[in-house]
Amino acid sequence: MDYYYDDYYDEYYEHPDQMAARLMQREFSFEETISNCVHPSIRFAAQYMTNFVAINLLFSILVVCIRKLFPIAHRSLHLLSCIFGATLLYRVIDHRFYHFLQLATSLYVVQWTLHRWLSGSGRYIKTPFIVIAYGIGNLLLSELLEPSPETWNRIRGTQMILLMKALSLAFDTEENQNLRSQLNVLSYTGYILCPANVVLGPWISFNDYLNIWKPSFGTETKHNRSFGRRLLIHVFRILVSALMAVGFLLTSNCMIDYLLSPIASWKWVRSYGRALSFRTSHYFIAYLSQCSMIAAAVDWNRAEDERSIMLPVTSLYRVSSPMAVEFPRSLVQVVTAWNIPMHLWLKRYIFRTTKRPFGTAAAIALTYIISSLLHGLHYRLWLTLLTIGSWTFVEHEIRKKLATIYSACVLVGKCPSACPVHQHRSKSVFCVVINALFFALNMFNLIYLGCIFETTEGPPEEADHDKTMFGRWTELNYASHWLLVFAYLFYFVI
């Protein structure tokens, strides 16, 4: 997800005392916050979200209608997807689509060339890895050559989703000849431009995209509902996702500053506010993309999605899980729940693919490297992911050792209530204390790792402003990194 820089935050590091003094008092009363922040934010959200919901609803209705008239005409799906996706792309990113066009076209040409001339040649480096190298290189070079950082920041997320789609396509069609036979210029363009996720994501596979034309409900299905009931459930989920998105936007823009301003003289409170504002802005994007996906899928649901009125945890549309992030048992849980589709993409195409030839440690490292590079030249994110990767490894190993030594349910993953392996169950005093300590550690890391980001984040001049990039961690005396060193030593001692 993309965030943008604001010169306002550069001034903070030049005049930290002035900034801290200003934060100790509220700039606006509650009524002024409502009129000056809440109302503008709601107007922005309404205008921005209308594009996604309206275009995707119209796309979905036309797909249902045309599918009934021409049930085997897959070209109709691809043409509709191209038209509505291009419309949404133009309305949201306007004239900046040339980067998208260049990357999408060149990725298809590279992939077609590899399949056409090098497929089955017994080469050591397989097609998907060549596509990964080209795609990431193209992405980084385009960012370096783009003269306007603001322009690139607006399309960063869109470019990342495009690259993830193309790379997953390279993996899926490498061995699956049936899927490759369905891939042509029109189907590729329809998949890339699918309005459900062309701008904000989330990533879906080429197979999931093709399933738009093949609804999973039949008249004999056990869990089949009437069309009217399913439609009501569908509309309800769109409204819930939209309201959640607006709620997180208001929290990020208005409520955090208003509530924390009176006590913001303490640096850890300021850091908590920045980190929480960053996370809630991410939840806004996540729920908006979830809303967009649901709007595009009036009759594109798996049977298990219709068993309850709320969206199931395993649904294809679920993008993030705020509760799992805000109250983490472990940092692994944070990584998994932060962006669920991207986690699945990295696990399926990067981790599992590299684990067998290179081993688990190298696969984890490559996964974090690819994840960082997909976001472009975002140095703060690179450092944050490196720190998270180190913490997840150390936490996993420490908890594994403690679970083995004391036969206790303190692993990264939660043990079943009647755990047959460990003597000390999760509700024992020892386990409660250990798990509570790790919970507190993870809450501390959420503050520390998130405070260097802003809701207006983006990386125009990070490389030339080391003080700006590390300033907030310097303010906190690099506490998490020192604690990481101590935890690593503790792991060897026990």
Residues belonging to the active site? 375
CA distance 435 to 424: 12
CA distance 21 to 27: 12
SS3 428: coil
Q: CB neighbours (10 Å) of residue 96? A: 18
Contact assessment for residue 273 and residue 31, using Cβ atoms and an 8 Å cutoff: no
Q: CB neighbours (10 Å) of residue 8? A: 10
Q: How far is CA 335 from CA 27, 322, 448, in A?
A: 35, 12, 15
Q: How far is CA 344 from the centre of its chain?
A: 10
CA distance 242 to 328: 25
Contact assessment for residue 430 and residue 259, using Cβ atoms and an 8 Å cutoff: no
Provide the residue type at 410 as one letter: V
Contact assessment for residue 447 and residue 268, using Cβ atoms and an 8 Å cutoff: yes
CA distance 333 to 270: 25
Contact assessment for residue 449 and residue 388, using Cβ atoms and an 8 Å cutoff: yes
Nearest of 154, 171, 204 to residue 376 by alpha carbon:
154
Nearest of 465, 437, 439 to residue 452 by alpha carbon:
465
CA-CA-CA-CA dihedral for 101, 103, 105, 109, to nearest 10: 170
CA distance 378 to 237: 34
Give me the residue label for tokens 């189907």. 187
The CA radius of gyration of the chain, in Å to the nearest whole number, is 24
Q: How far is CA 276 from CA 98, 127, 390, 449, in A?
A: 34, 41, 22, 11
CA distance 66 to 349: 34
CA distance 195 to 87: 8
Q: How far is CA 248 from CA 42, 288, 441, in A?
A: 11, 10, 25
Q: What is the DSSP letter of 69?
A: H
